[in-house]
Structure 1
Amino acid sequence: MTTTTQQELFRFLEDRFACAQACTECARACALRASMVDADGTQEQEFVRRKGIMCAEVCDATCRVLSEQNSLDESAIRIQVEWCRTVCLESAHAFDRYPGAEDGAQATRECAQACTDFLSTLN
């Protein structure tokens, strides 16, 4: 049987909050990035727009999971956060290839790092 110390509990809550906050900021940045791409643009522009939309939706859902009182167990939370991290990294790579999307790439990388930090707290 494992005993959780008060310090471990504080770290868990801080990392969970930081992850939720990074998800909110990332969702905002990705939605903004997607809205700035011409919907009738090139195939590359459409790819970046779709990645931005998907990342915004996943980050928004992850933030809700982390910030709301819900009945999800640890494994369901882990799956959601891992999914968010993966989508953020994919979006960062897409934004890297699109001039002017540096802010979106940075927000997605910061969110992926916050997800990684929170996942390490769950271990």
Structure 2
Amino acid sequence: MTQQTSQQELYRFLEDRFACALACTECARACALRAGVLDPGGAARTEQVRRKGIMCAEVCDATCRALTEETGRDETGLRVQLEWCRAICLECAQAFDTQPGAEKSADACRACARACADFIAVLG
């Protein structure tokens, strides 16, 4: 019975890890697309949002790689990466909230932040 419980926990761990990696990928894609849509020569506020989108895409990409590759990273390091990703995604979502037409990108950022938080909870 204990072995079955352990297998179920392992499956949930892997499912949550995969869901988080997918959310990170989607957020990175949305941020990169959104950053490309914003006027690079526009107002300083628009440029700041663009930079946040690019940074969020890079952090999500790094987090996705950390989740999908066996890099020998310990659980503490993975938790730090997930916390960083969650925080950046929430910050980016708030920035996108100020931009007309950026609702889908903001939603992708929030979904990624939730997936990171959910996976952190699984790590314990």
TM-score over 0.5 for the pair: yes
User: Which position in structure 2 is the counterpart of 1:97?
Assistant: 98
Residue 12 (structure 2) pairs with residue 6 (structure 1): no
**How many Å separate the matches in 2 of 1:116 and 1:7?**
20
Root-mean-square deviation (CA, aligned residues, Å) is 1.1
**How many Å separate the matches in 1 of 2:48 and 2:101?**
15
User: Which position in structure 2 is the counterpart of 1:43?
Assistant: 44
Runs ≥4 in structure 1, deviation > 2 angstroms?
none
Residue correspondence of structure 1 range 1-123 to structure 2 within 5 A: 5-123=6-124
Q: What amino acid is aligned across from residue 79 of structure 1 in structure 2?
A: V
Q: 1:31 is paired with a residue of what secondary structure?
A: helix
Tell me the matched-pair count. 121
**How many Å separate the matches in 1 of 2:84 and 2:38?**
24
For normalisation by structure 1, the TM-score amounts to: 0.95
Q: What amino acid is aligned across from residue 48 of structure 1 in structure 2?
A: V
Q: What amino acid is aligned across from residue 44 of structure 1 in structure 2?
A: R
**How many Å separate the matches in 2 of 1:7 and 1:121?**
12
**How many Å separate the matches in 1 of 2:25 and 2:115?**
12
* Structure 2 residue ranges without an equivalent (≥5): none
**How many Å separate the matches in 1 of 2:39 and 2:98?**
16
Q: 1:22 is paired with a residue of what secondary structure?
A: helix
For normalisation by structure 2, the TM-score amounts to: 0.95
**How many Å separate the matches in 2 of 1:116 and 1:39?**
32
Q: Give 1:29 shift.
A: 0.3
**How many Å separate the matches in 2 of 1:49 and 1:6?**
43
Q: 1:5 is paired with a residue of what secondary structure?
A: helix
**How many Å separate the matches in 2 of 1:27 and 1:122?**
23
Q: Give 1:48 shift.
A: 0.8
Q: 2:113 is paired with a residue of what secondary structure?
A: helix
